[in-house]
């Protein structure tokens, strides 16, 4: 049965995914930072709610994954207003935690295989991005092909989580 908190988490994931992707493609720095601020707050709220939901259900691995995602998103949110170049350290920390979170969430078979696979692909792309930055590649959060290639897989994973919340298995 779907609850009001499931609906709120679904909306947070949808807003986070939409505004996050939109922010990646705009050229105006103030607009990008605004979109990413909305994205970040929505995802922090959604993942906080999902942490509580899965903790109550006794699924500690998934709860820990959503809590880890929340920590990563908080780092991203904190660095956002500094601008693209200055945000790279918090960005690298944030996507490192996103990758760990996606692996934790996908480790349990609670979500459908396709959702777990899209999360794993996103996690791999984020880890490669982190390694590249740590080894000196001048990548920004908007750089292509990496890290930009990971975002659609992350948003597809969000869509799966939303599906699971809106239409739970009976």
Per-residue pLDDT reduced to its tens digit, 18-62: 999 999 999 999 999 999 999 999 999 999 999 999 999 999 999
Percent of the chain scored above 70 by pLDDT?
99
Q: What is the pTM of this model?
A: 0.95
In angstroms, the Cα distances linking 9 to 21, 64, 105, 135, 170 are 18, 16, 16, 36, 19
Distance between CA atoms of 17 and 46, rounded to whole angstroms?
11
**Spatial CB neighbours of 127, under 8 Å, sequence gap ≥ 6:** 96, 99
What is the CA 59 to chain-centroid distance, rounded?
19
The parent domain of residue 107 ranges over 4-166
Q: How many domains does the chain have?
A: 1
Dump pLDDT digits (tens) for 89-108: 999 999 999 999 999 999 99
């Amino acid at each position: 049965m779907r609850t009001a908190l499931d609906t709120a988490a679904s909306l947070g994931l949808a807003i986070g995914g939409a505004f996050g992707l939109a922010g990646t493609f705009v050229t105006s720095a103030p607009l990008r930072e605004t979109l990413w601020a909305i994205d970040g707050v929505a995802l922090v709220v959604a993942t906080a709610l999902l942490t509580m939901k899965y903790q109550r259900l006794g699924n500690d691995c998934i709860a820990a994954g959503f809590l880890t995602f929340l920590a990563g998103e908080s780092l991203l949110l904190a660095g956002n207003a500094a601008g693209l170049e200055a945000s790279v350290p918090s960005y690298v920390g944030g996507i490192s935690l996103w990758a760990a979170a996606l692996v934790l969430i996908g480790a349990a078979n609670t979500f459908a295989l396709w959702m777990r696979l899209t999360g794993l692909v996103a996690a791999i792309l984020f880890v490669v991005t982190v390694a590249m930055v740590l080894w000196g590649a001048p990548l920004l959060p908007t750089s292509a092909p990496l890290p930009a290639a990971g975002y659609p897989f992350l948003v597809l994973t969000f869509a799966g989580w939303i599906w699971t919340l809106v239409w739970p298995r009976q």
